[in-house]
Amino acid sequence: MTKRALIITSIASDSMESLNTYAKECKDRDIDFIVIGDTKSPKEFYIDNCDFWSVDRQLELKSEFAQLCPTRHYARKNIGYIVAMMNGSSELVETDDDNLPREEFWQFKERTVHAKDIKEQGWVNVYDYFSDDFIWPRGLPLNELQKQLPALTTFEQKNIDCPIQQGLADENPDVDAVFRLAFKLPLNFKKVGNIALGNNAWCPFNSQNTHWFKDAFPLMYLPAYCSFRMTDIWRSFVAQRIAWENGWSILFHDATVWQERNDHDLMKDFEDEIPGYLNNTKICQGLAKLDLKGGRENILDDLVTCYEFLTESGFVGKEEMPLVKAWVNDLGKYWK
């Protein structure tokens, strides 16, 4: 029997509309709803059918990672993944508290998907296939924006193993500060169906509308000792690299949420994204050269290898490795 969990990290109050919407919809569908708080979360928080974890409660977990993860960081979402695994979930869904679900968000997903099969294309601006407007996802190298992609019709449609599935977000999609400073929103994507990126077809994906099947759970790891604006992007590069070693592709599909974006200082976002503008290509080139083992039984070792590269190369702080090893130890107990 499939057991699903929805994970959000939030410091909002229990009156927030989106959190109450998710709680109700999860209750109707027998989905665990886990909200991970932080030091700025309200002291009192209650929503029916919401499993809220304050920092104090997180520290009571039998989790090495929960003891080490810094506060006031999005990487505490990792604790929600661990809680869901402890509870026996076989599929994990994640989003943010400023995304609102459409009915399609709740549909059951199959791991093997009929999709356009894109491989060996280098950087792929997937948003370009879903829109007639000039748009790109946060994390795509700026020097790749003008790249002309083959028409979608040139790629074969086939059944593809996709244990990581990224849904798009309408109205205020996940774009970088350069886009937000230069172009106007809102924007809605076209419906074009399923696109799967396989070996040597890079595209960043985010943590705002992502569905994970159990075999890929270790790849959910969000690094803490890097820019907040890069934590899910650099996670996505590691996940893609290890996915290819296992014969998996990353699925991108039509928008199933829309975003009413929380307030952001765009110049602060730009500053936080500079490490990505400068290093995303270098990171992926380095990951591509790693000698990984492949196979589900080696996925945790391969994750450690990737983060050893990221820390030794200076992209991620060396403080990350104890967290990675704590994550690996936790999953050794809770991910079967």
Both tokens of 152, joined, read 């979608």
3-state SS, 111-149, equals CEEEEEEECCCEECCHHHHHCCCCCCCCCCCHHHCCCCC
Mean per-residue pLDDT for 247-276?
95
**First and final C-alpha spacing in the chain:** 15
Query: Which residues form the domain of 46?
Result: 4-334
Number of domains in the chain: 1
Alpha carbon separation from 65 to 38, 96, 221, 229 (Å, rounded) = 15, 21, 11, 21
Mean per-residue pLDDT for 300-322?
98
Q: Taking each helix axis from N to C terminus, what angle separates 266-289 and 299-312, rounded to the nearest 10 degrees?
A: 120
Phi/psi of residue 15, nearest 5 degrees: -90, -5
Q: Is the peptide bond before 101 cis (omega within 30 degrees of 0)?
A: no
Which CATH number is 49's domain given? Answer: 3.90.550
**Closest to 247 measured CA to CA, from 222, 216, 218, 220:** 216
pLDDT above 80: residue 98: yes
In this prediction, residue 35 carries a pLDDT of 98
Mean pLDDT of the chain: 97
Residue 274: other Cβ atoms inside 10 A: 13
- Which residues are bridge partners to 263 per DSSP? none
pLDDT above 80: residue 170: yes
Instruction: Give the whole-angstrom CA distance, residue 182 versus residue 119.
Output: 31
How many percent of the chain have pLDDT more than 70?
100
- Which residues are bridge partners to 95 per DSSP? 209
Mean per-residue pLDDT for 135-142?
98
Per DSSP (E only), the strands in the chain are: 4-9, 32-36, 51-53, 91-95, 99-101, 112-118, 122-123, 157-161, 164-170, 195-197, 201-202, 209-213, 250-259
**If pLDDT is split at 50, 70 and 90, which confidence band does 146 have?**
very high
* Segment 274-288, tens digit of pLDDT: 999 999 999 999 999
208 with 99: CB under 8 angstroms?
A: yes
Both tokens of 280, joined, read 């995303």
* Segment 190-244, tens digit of pLDDT: 999 999 999 999 999 999 999 999 999 999 999 999 999 999 999 999 999 999 9
223 with 307: CB under 8 angstroms?
A: yes
